[in-house]
């Protein structure tokens, strides 16, 4: 149980950091196949599935709650070094994914999968809101539908190895907003502020429902895709990963740029690369 809780915390940490893939961490820890099987066979193997899913989800949730305030602070006060660290984490995960396609011949279909998903990420960065803080989450039917949809998208990307759900939230313009909402919810709970709790729940409930439904919907699809076209899927993942640093840097606030921040950014990039290379090993 303790081991599963700790593994869940690693997955949660990965999912809260843009560019780090919770799916990759699952693969690295030998959890991925077991989790997908538990999710897709929840009804037929309910007891065994819940024994695995409950501690993993609790650990992941605990990590997200504990670290959300830290990353809100870093992104607000040190956006350039922080985003360089994210880019390092992405780059450090590439060798792990490249190993999945080593020894397989390159084909037109595989290159097309790479280019399509590379283009999707870049296009989202260019067209999306450049500031997650500006995302409108005021209470209303349209915004609830948006939050539900964003939750599904984030959940889908959390399940795919090599793809970061939090990076997708950043590209969609909701990353900072969700982090702030989680922190405000925690503050309201600690202060026993019922109105504050209800206000944040108007954001977290539709988003959370989207995540839960998204995980269960996408798990079956992922299981099918990897069983039929595993190498093509990994080429698509490589396209997503390579495009992610470009997208994140396009959305970075460069107003505080200087030689010093650049040098610090190089250091944080290297630190991110090193961390990912260690966490992503088999």
Predicted confidence band at 82 (pLDDT cuts at 50, 70, 90)? Answer: confident
Who's near 118: CB < 8 A, 6+ residues apart? 239, 240, 242, 243
Angle at 48 between CA 43 and CA 53, to 5 degrees: 85
- Work out the mean pLDDT of the chain and round it to a whole number: 81
The Cα 36–Cα 180 span in angstroms is 30
Residue 239 contacts residue 94 (beta carbons within 8 Å): no
pLDDT confidence of residue 135 = 61
Asked whether the predicted pLDDT for residue 134 surpasses 60, the reply is no
Inter-axis angle of helices 46-77 and 79-101, to 10 degrees? 140
What confidence tens digit (pLDDT) does each residue in 96-121 have? Answer: 778 888 889 989 999 999 999 888 87
Which pLDDT band, with edges at 50, 70 and 90, does 136 fall under?
low
Cα dihedral sign, 236-242-248-250: negative
Neighbouring residues of 271: CB distance < 8 A, sequence distance ≥ 6: 85, 88
pLDDT of residue 262: 92
Q: From residue 61, how far is each of 8, 55, 56, 68, 164 by CA, in Å?
A: 8, 10, 9, 11, 16
């Amino acid at each position: 149980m303790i081991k599963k809780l700790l593994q869940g915390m690693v997955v949660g940490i990965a999912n809260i950091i843009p560019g780090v893939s919770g799916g990759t961490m699952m693969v690295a820890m030998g959890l991925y196949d077991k989790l997908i099987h538990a999710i897709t066979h929840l009804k037929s193997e309910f007891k065994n599935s819940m024994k695995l899913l409950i501690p993993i989800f609790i650990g992941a949730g605990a990590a997200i709650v504990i670290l959300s305030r830290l990353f809100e602070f870093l992104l607000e006060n040190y956006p350039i070094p922080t985003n360089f660290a994210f880019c390092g984490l992405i780059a450090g995960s590439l060798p792990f994914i490249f190993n999945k396609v080593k020894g397989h011949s390159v084909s037109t279909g595989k290159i097309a999968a790479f280019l399509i998903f590379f283009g999707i990420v870049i296009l989202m960065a260019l067209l999306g809101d450049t500031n997650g803080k500006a995302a409108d989450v005021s209470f209303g039917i349209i915004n609830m539908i948006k939050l539900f949809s964003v939750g599904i998208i984030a959940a889908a990307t959390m399940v795919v190895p090599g793809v970061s759900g939090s990076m997708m939230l950043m590209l969609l313009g909701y990353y900072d907003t969700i982090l702030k909402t989680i922190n405000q919810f925690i503050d309201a709970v600690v202060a026993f502020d019922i109105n504050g709790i209800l206000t944040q729940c108007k954001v977290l409930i539709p988003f959370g429902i989207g995540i839960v439904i998204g995980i269960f919907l996408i798990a079956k699809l992922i299981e099918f895709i990897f069983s039929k076209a595993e190498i093509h899927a990994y080429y698509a993942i490589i396209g997503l990963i390579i495009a992610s640093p470009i997208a994140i840097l396009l959305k970075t606030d460069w107003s505080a740029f200087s030689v010093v921040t650049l040098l610090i950014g190089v250091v944080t990039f290297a630190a991110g690369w090193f961390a990912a290379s260690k966490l992503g090993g088999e």
